[in-house]
Amino acid sequence: RLLPCLKALSAGGAKVVILSHFGRPGGQYDPKMSLKSVADELTHLAEQPVEFISDCTGPAAEQAVKNLEKGSLLLLENLRFNPGEENNDPDFVESLAQLGDIYVNNAFSASHRAHASTEGLAHKLPKYAGPLMMEEINALRTALDSPERPTVALVGGAKVSSKFPLLLNIINKVDNLIVGGGMANTFLAAQGLNVGASLAELSLKDTVLKILTKAESVGCKIILPRDVIVAERFEAGATYREIPVDRVNNKEIILDVGPRSIEYMRDLLKNCRTLLWNGPLGAFEMDPFGKGTFALAKTAAELTKAGHLSTIAGGGDTVAALNVAGVIDDFTYVSSAGGAFLEWLEGRELPGITALL
């Protein structure tokens, strides 16, 4: 997804200096996190040589840039090997600025971080948003601010506490909200249902009730599981059963939504025009607890291909689930971002994007 930008700049005769990071080396060199292998793979994908310099600033990097021919690509070493990257150190920013004439940020996925390469550099050089950055922004703006209605958001994941700001923001944007994963257990428990030994934040009853009250006041319908798949152990081959949501015993763990819930949610998708998806419905990584997630993914994909539904998805677990379901290419847009996607859904400003304005 990054290649079109690199190829366009190269074809236009630019000397292209690529900035990137990998892992969390803590501001120190770590050979396991070097980008040398990335340069080799990029050479293969771009079908043209990608030079590599084992530094990201200083005389060696400056000379490497100076020696570049027009249309050539140069990848600098992992920016996070220098503590100035994550600290957004002005001196490090200035050193990076010496390596180019124009700054292009094509990394929406890193734009929630106010780092030297994502925020500081935008104040030093003429700045532009790359095509992938614009794709991400336009897809999310459309889904949140001017979607075709009715709209539905599917928000899953383990904890309400980690997605509380997202939930509060998104109920103002959509007509329906499906809550899945461990979060659904917390919602069910807050309404007085027994969730057994399931993952749930029982102390967040007041938080959940606040979300439910606000959703009702703004006209957003919240959909919770009607039936569930439970087991006494979360392991391959464990005995499981499908039961109504009010029949969970104290030893059981809720691991997925049941068939009645799946059918209801599929029917809801068929009556909507826009779906925003972040987080799985159940523990999809272990069979058979991915039935709900995969069924909705396939229904959403079919509706998208038929031109009935616009589908925008993001987040690491969501992307993994769509890949396993084999439908990722059928969605309207799948975000490359994790943390940045979540923060955008929360309604927060992203430093890397603000710096481009």
CA distance 177 to 162: 17
Q: Where are the domains of the chain?
A: 3-129, 136-345
Predicted local distance difference test score (pLDDT) of residue 316:
86
Predicted local distance difference test score (pLDDT) of residue 168:
92
CATH architecture type of domain 3-129: 3-Layer(aba) Sandwich (3.40)
**Which amino acid belongs to residue 198?**
S
Predicted local distance difference test score (pLDDT) of residue 274:
97
User: Tens digits of per-residue pLDDT, 336-355?
Assistant: 788 888 888 888 899 999 99
Cβ(303)–Cβ(309) below 8 Å: yes
Predicted local distance difference test score (pLDDT) of residue 278:
94
Give the pairing type, strands 310-313 and 274-278: parallel
Predicted local distance difference test score (pLDDT) of residue 237:
86
Predicted local distance difference test score (pLDDT) of residue 186:
96
Low-confidence ranges of the chain (pLDDT < 70): none
CA distances from 345 to 132, 209, 211, 219, 298 (A): 18, 21, 16, 19, 23
Predicted local distance difference test score (pLDDT) of residue 337:
84
Query: In CATH terms, are 3-129 and 136-345 the same topology?
Result: yes
Predicted local distance difference test score (pLDDT) of residue 157:
86
Predicted local distance difference test score (pLDDT) of residue 1:
81
Predicted local distance difference test score (pLDDT) of residue 159:
87
User: Tens digits of per-residue pLDDT, 202-243?
Assistant: 999 999 999 999 999 999 999 999 999 999 999 988 999 999
What class is the 136-345 domain?
A: alpha beta
Predicted local distance difference test score (pLDDT) of residue 338:
83
Predicted local distance difference test score (pLDDT) of residue 339:
86
